[in-house]
Amino acid sequence: MTTIEEHKIKIEEHLEQIENAIDQGAETKPVSLGFHCSACSIQFLELYLHLKNLIPIGKIIKHDWFKKPQIGQKIEPLIERKLNVNFPRKNEIYDLIYSLEEGRTSLVYGSPIKEQITNTLINFNNLKEIFQEFFEDEGFKIK
């Protein structure tokens, strides 16, 4: 069971690892970037949903629930089947996480090109900005 304080500690560790990878050269650290951007995005989402009391503290969201739905898919996306909640900018947030999960696969398991690394960092920073606004609105501060 992850408490709000534990989420904060995990997020700060992920952010530190992302900064370290960038400082050492993003192109030389694709695995670190792919993993930590993905994991941190899920921590952001869980923390926000816990702060808003939309999910109980014991609820865990798994990154692999964010497999991007296919055009014309007849069943609800996996994340909607596993986590049916509504909150501001949900579609935008989910789209960013879908992109991060696609990037994670390439960065962690493939041979990524510079553009994939750059896109992952752009998507992560866009997501981070959204959640920082949300956390500020809740009176909660993240590094």
- Residue-wise pLDDT tens digits, 95-141: 999 999 999 999 999 999 999 999 999 999 999 999 999 999 988 88
Q: Per mean pLDDT, which range of 28-37, 43-52, 56-65 is the poorest? A: 56-65
Which residue, 138, 127, 102, 105, is CA-closest to 15? 127
**17/75 Cα distance (integer angstroms):** 37
Give pLDDT tens digits for 68-97: 888 877 778 889 999 999 999 999 999 999
Sketch the domain layout of the chain as residue ranges: 4-137
User: What distance in Å separates the CA atoms of residue 130 and residue 97, rounded to the nearest whole number?
Assistant: 12
Cα–Cα distance for residue pair 15/70, rounded to 1 Å: 31
- Total residue length of the chain: 143
Whole-prediction pTM: 0.93
Query: Rounded to whole angstroms, how far apart are CA atoms 46 and 66?
Result: 13
